[in-house]
Structure 1
Amino acid sequence: MFEQLTQLVQQYGSNAVVNNSAVPNEHNEAVISETSNSIFEGLKKIVSEGGTDQIAGLFNGNSSIDSSNPVVQQIQQQLSGSLGQKFGLSSADSSGVASNLIPQILSSLVNKAKDPNDSSFQISDIINSISGNSGQASGIMDTISKYGMQFGLDQNNDGKVDVADVLVVTKSKGGIAGFIGKLFGSK
């Protein structure tokens, strides 16, 4: 996932980084790399701190992907601080780069993950990459249960979304990736 994320950052980085006089040309590639790393590590940190609801909200479209979104805010702050510290950018310049890049990249990431015709990002791959350990799986499952009723994922009509529902979906509709895809609106 990190490689695809870096390609996405490069796609949006031309205006915010390459064509930005505040970012010295010799740092362009490193700033783009730092942006990718900040997004990836930021998402991992949010999950590790129990923010699975925030991540789920990001991917299911219940929250806007702009500066009002707590996920966007946290990653922008992390990137801004990192750009100032590692590359000597002023606070205003590093904040400007972060606020130009992060909402665009996260929005594109979410849209690509939800698009059944775009296989560059799979929601299941993103969740696996950012959850990092099996302990997070239960947190993600809790989130699936919380949102699952809203998305009709109660496959056995027992009034809750649980492992039994996952088993029904995984046997018939593409495994756990199919279940997670259904949760986030993919076909």
Structure 2
Amino acid sequence: MSDMLDQLVQLVRENAQQTVVANPAVPNEQNDAIIGEASHSIAAGLQDALASGNVQEVMGLFNSNGQVDNSNPLVNNISGNLISSLTEKFNLNSGTAASIAGSLIPAVLGSLVKKTNDPADNGFSLDGIFSSLTGGSTNGVNLGSLLGKFAGGLDKDGDGDVDMQDLMGMISNGAKQQQSNGGLGGLLGGLFGR
């Protein structure tokens, strides 16, 4: 997960200029620590959602075409955790913490979704994110079997199970047909009934 976390920190840094770095309510010596905390909150929030079996919530996020807002329960949870961290660890007032989380978390998740769904950008991949967050499983439950619950008949490689290779094969085979319907997000949306 460290590679993904490093990439996530860079993504947060790219989105934190106004919200954190140029924010007069944030002491300059805390900028890097707050960026790190925001990165950790995002990774932990996604990891917790997967560990709790909320695969549909996470997949729904990646079906958002980068339009992410705080009304999404997953985003709301990640933002809430960051607000708690900012007030407890960095002694920011709750208004400042809420403003930072409310702006930064949707922006970073939106960038993450766009980069993941962009075939020209190999920095993030859905397979890589899931593998980093779960090690291929969620709390001892094989991710492939969870995917199988949401979409039967996906054993594209004929190996007797539905796994990330099947999903990625389906995505690459269906990408041409789905370009007019929203690319990878449209394909995943169809897959998970969203």
Scaled by the length of structure 1, the TM-score of the pair is 0.79
From 3, 8, 18, the counterpart of 2:6: 3
Describe the SS at the equivalent of 1:185. Answer: helix
In 2, Cα distance between the equivalents of 1:46 and 1:32?
A: 21
Deviations 1:2-51 (A, max 9, x none): 11111000000110000101111110110001111111111111111121
- In structure 2, what is the equivalent of residue 90 of structure 1? 93
Distance 1:139 1:95, change over 3 A: farther
Describe the SS at the equivalent of 1:167. Answer: coil
Deviation at 1:136, TM superposition (A): 4.8
1:178 and 2:177 aligned: no
Identity %: 36
Residues 136 and 143, structure 2, Cα contact 8 Å, conserved in 1: no
In 1, Cα distance between the equivalents of 2:115 and 2:90?
A: 31
Unaligned runs of 5+ in 2: 175-182, 188-194
Deviations 1:100-158 (A, max 9, x none): 1000100110111011000010110001111246345746335533554xxxxxxxxxx
In 1, Cα distance between the equivalents of 2:139 and 2:156?
A: 17
- In structure 1, what is the equivalent of residue 122 of structure 2? 119
Q: Which amino acid aligns with 2:58?
A: I
Runs of 4+ in 1 over 6 A off after TM superposition: none
Distance 1:54 1:62, change over 3 A: farther
In 1, Cα distance between the equivalents of 2:61 and 2:9?
A: 19
In 2, Cα distance between the equivalents of 1:40 and 1:4?
A: 11
Deviation at 1:74, TM superposition (A): 0.4
Q: Which amino acid aligns with 1:27?
A: Q
Question: Which runs of structure 2 are paired with 1:164-175 in the superposition (5 Å)?
Answer: 165-168=155-158, 175=165
In 2, Cα distance between the equivalents of 1:135 and 1:109?
A: 21
In 1, Cα distance between the equivalents of 2:138 and 2:74?
A: 21
Distance 1:102 1:139, change over 3 A: farther
How many residues get paired? 170
Describe the SS at the equivalent of 1:68. Answer: coil
Residues 65 and 107, structure 1, Cα contact 8 Å, conserved in 2: yes
Residues 51 and 138, structure 2, Cα contact 8 Å, conserved in 1: no
Question: Which runs of structure 2 are paired with 1:52-67 in the superposition (5 Å)?
Answer: 52-61=55-64, 65-67=68-70
In 1, Cα distance between the equivalents of 2:113 and 2:78?
A: 15
Describe the SS at the equivalent of 2:53. Answer: coil
Scaled by the length of structure 2, the TM-score of the pair is 0.77
In 2, Cα distance between the equivalents of 1:135 and 1:179?
A: 21
Q: Which amino acid aligns with 1:121?
A: F
